[in-house]
Structure 1
Amino acid sequence: MYEKARFLPAGDKSLIIEFGDSISPEINKKIRDMYLAIEKSGLDGIIEMVPTYRSILVSYNPLNIIYEDLCHKLRELEDNLNDSGSEPAKVVEIPTIYGGDYGPDIEFVAQHNDLSVNEVIEIHSSRDYLIYMLGFTPGFPYLGGMSEKIETPRLKTPRTKIPAGSVGIAGKQTGIYPIDSPGGWQLIGRTPVKLFDPFAEPPVLLNPGDYVRFVPIDEKEYKYILKQVEENKFTVNIALLDK
């Protein structure tokens, strides 16, 4: 983590706020705090912000604010982050059915790591995962904190279509496919919850800086929740991070 964030121009309408050169929970917390501080500030001219693993891309209207003035105001916000305090992160519970047709690669993950399928499920669902960033497809969460015990390489040949809601593993990461899409992650389960809905407000369920908690369910529960989701009657459980 840098002692002070670096402000770097990105074209004539954007800048990058860079907080470090590594992936870590500490840098992610700084990004989350700064993102929320900018949102609350109501700075004139800000069009959009995109948080990443170690930076925030800020797009702005140069007719409303010039680059130098924006940098000055952002530096003031950064200097006052400790005084404004941090908002507690949210933990979003994601009900997930593991194995079978829903997670066709779970047996490979188990064999690769010399574990049983039940041990893979227990390990995968035993912790809260930090959402470092969203990308690849709308609402796809890149999750950190997975146990090395279930670390597994990507597929040698990606699938051309993975069902929305599929939960996968790729190397040291785990994630969830929000929409039907190609992909090369090892599929271990699926959630009936919608992570991306273009007609909802907001359209994306998860936010960088929050956490995901996978909750194992059986097929009966999966079909019940899926029906509730289709009828717009399902609400995910959200708690505040207790740590």
Structure 2
Amino acid sequence: MTAQYTEIYALNESSLTMVFGNTISEDLAEKVLLFDRAIHAAPFEGFMTTIPAYATLTVCYDPKIVFNTLPGAESGYEKVARYLSTLTVGTLKQQNNRRKMAIPVCYGGEFGPDLDLVAAHCNLNREELISIHSAARYMVYMIGFVPGFAYMGGMDKRLATPRKEQPQSNVSAGSVGIAGGQTGIYSLDIPGGWQIIGQTPLRLFDAARPEPSLLKAGDELSFIPVSVKEFYSLLS
């Protein structure tokens, strides 16, 4: 099938953005990721990279190479947009090859200082909250905010909790938080306003790695509760 986006526009002289909808949902995220895979499978001359988000896909390219190699007399943007409009995109059944990852998390205590607050807000006890949070299957919709920070869908609605009224000046890398109806993992030591319920010993972002971000859009995650002792044994 061909493109399923609803709008396309030039972002700047070296990138354009395709819009696939205006909601946050797994179905819409799949559409974005299917098109992302299609571009990488059949890149045009001058293609550089893509940036998938909740409902959009930004395509970055070298305008000079595009203008000199793609046929037609249009601008670089128009040439790329025309190419993308003819790109064949596979079906979800054909390309549903999500990478599955298990993320260890030590819940509560020094690693999850807001666990009891979230549990009280949700009328749950600590064990129920941990059980519900770790039982779900999560999909990474996008990486953003800071390098390596994963925005995920799939959290049980029973755990929805507002952000902090006053953000913390520093949240430790690896902290697992809840904000509204979403859960996420802090990839760096940064200020933040999510309710922190646990922490993973895994390093979400490391600029020295060949692929600095541990997670990427389209990954499927599950959280595995671990003890404090296991947390320190898994530190990376």
Fold match by TM threshold 0.5:
yes
Aligned length: 225
Measure, in 1, the Cα distance between the counterparts of 2:92 and 2:139.
Answer: 24
Contact 1:91/1:128 (<8 A) preserved: no
Amino acid at match of 2:55: R
Inter-CA distance 83–148: structure 2 relative to 1 (3 Å threshold): closer
> RMSD between aligned alpha carbons?
1.6
Equivalent residues in 2 for 1:202-213 (5 A)? 202-213=211-222
2:16 matched to 1:15?
Answer: yes
Measure, in 2, the Cα distance between the counterparts of 1:83 and 1:138.
Answer: 28
SS of the residue 2:81 aligns to = helix
Measure, in 1, the Cα distance between the counterparts of 2:92 and 2:188.
Answer: 40
What's the offset of the Cα at 1:64?
A: 1.3
Determine the structure 2 residue equivalent to 1:155.
164
Determine the structure 1 residue equivalent to 2:136.
127
Determine the structure 1 residue equivalent to 2:174.
165
Structure 2 gap ranges (5+):
67-75
Question: Which is further off, 83-92 or 113-122?
Answer: 83-92
Determine the structure 2 residue equivalent to 1:72.
82
Structure 1 gap ranges (5+):
230-243
Measure, in 1, the Cα distance between the counterparts of 2:85 and 2:129.
Answer: 45
SS of the residue 1:157 aligns to = coil
Measure, in 2, the Cα distance between the counterparts of 1:84 and 1:11.
Answer: 34
What's the offset of the Cα at 1:87?
A: 4.0
**CA distances 1:182-220 after superposition (whole Å, capped 9, x unpaired):** 000000000000110000010011111111110000011
What's the offset of the Cα at 1:111?
A: 0.6
Inter-CA distance 82–144: structure 2 relative to 1 (3 Å threshold): closer
Inter-CA distance 115–89: structure 2 relative to 1 (3 Å threshold): same
Question: Percent identity among equivalent residues?
Answer: 39
Equivalent residues in 2 for 1:1-243 (5 A)? 4-65=5-66, 66-77=76-87, 79-82=88-91, 85-226=94-235, 229=236
Measure, in 2, the Cα distance between the counterparts of 1:82 and 1:68.
Answer: 26
What's the offset of the Cα at 1:83?
A: 10
Amino acid at match of 2:223: F
Amino acid at match of 1:209: G
**CA distances 1:85-134 after superposition (whole Å, capped 9, x unpaired):** 31411221100000000000000001111110010000000011111111
Contact 1:138/1:178 (<8 A) preserved: yes
Question: Which is further off, 81-90 or 144-153?
Answer: 81-90
Inter-CA distance 84–99: structure 2 relative to 1 (3 Å threshold): closer
Inter-CA distance 68–214: structure 2 relative to 1 (3 Å threshold): same
Amino acid at match of 2:44: L
